[in-house]
Structure 1
Amino acid sequence: MFEIKINYHLEELHDLVRQYPMVVIEEGEKVMDIIVRRLESEVVMRTPRGVGGVAGLAGSIHGAVVSQGFPIHGVVGTPLEYAIVVEEGRRPNRAMPPVGPIALWAQRKLGVNVEDARSVGFVIARSIGKKGFKGAHMFRKAWEQLERWAQTELQSIVDRVSERLSD
């Protein structure tokens, strides 16, 4: 599994947590959900589309807020093993990747017939092993774009709690 975890420690919340723990948790979860949904959307937009299109890697990326009180965690990730290779790329002069998935990709994406797919997959896999490829960095780039905004959103928890308590 490949994922980004969002963890922030907000000193300003300590007193509020002691006095109003449920209100802080509820508002914290709401804010974290806003952040996670936007990050998930940004990562999906940056994810290369392969054979599966939206149903492939992009469709497997999901975010969640994980909370049992404190701390509140935001997670965006995918269970697909190859996501790390798409994210980080592959260095040259390494062992060939598995031919089977590449042969299937060649059939679906390149229109190669079943009889030739294994041979074409082998040639592509050998080339990837020799040359490598650059990563898409969809998770990293999305987080770099949103981190400052996310920090501002997290800082708003104090104001949200105060506003709610004044009602």
Structure 2
Amino acid sequence: ALKTAIFIVSILILPLFTASCNINFSVSNPDIGKLTASAQKLLEAGDYKAAAARLESINDLNPNLPENHYNLGIAYYRMGEKEKAIESMKKALELKSDLPDAYYTLAVTYEDTAIEKEAALEEEKDAQKKADITNEIIECYQKAQDNYASYVKSVKDPQEREKVLKRMNTLSEEEEKIQKELQ
């Protein structure tokens, strides 16, 4: 009878205990808004490392905010972490494909990566490694052009459009030059 009484009491108390221990892991929009505002101030102040840390925290709370991934990409780019910047921009565009600035930033990042690889190419002595680096440079220039093309589709300002189209033409010429050197 005692065992039955304990069992009945535990059945009655267990739901009360589990209900009181129910932890709400969701974070309200105002909380994310405060974190985002703080991260924005850090970006504006040039404290990219702290901004990246704050933006990563926001992604931990809600990974489905495209603007946050975009801002994180900017922070990474400013820190010189181009691969992470590319990854963040791609994630932003995966979540929201109509972010023209993300296409532009992605294009610039690929272009900068190609330029860095060109500098490394000049230092490389091994023929196979040179060929591999050259192919990576060509790929970066192609991706830069593709992202500039996506950006241009949304540009309303004719001067901005013309500037980007000229940039794309320059990249195309650079890519052709590098391909000829590869042959």
TM-score w.r.t. length of structure 2? 0.27
With a CA cutoff of 8 Å and minimum separation of 6, indicate the structure with the bigger relative contact order: 1
- Which structure is larger by alpha-carbon Rg, 1 or 2? 2
- Give the number of the structure whose residues are more often strand, by fraction: 1
TM-score w.r.t. length of structure 1? 0.29
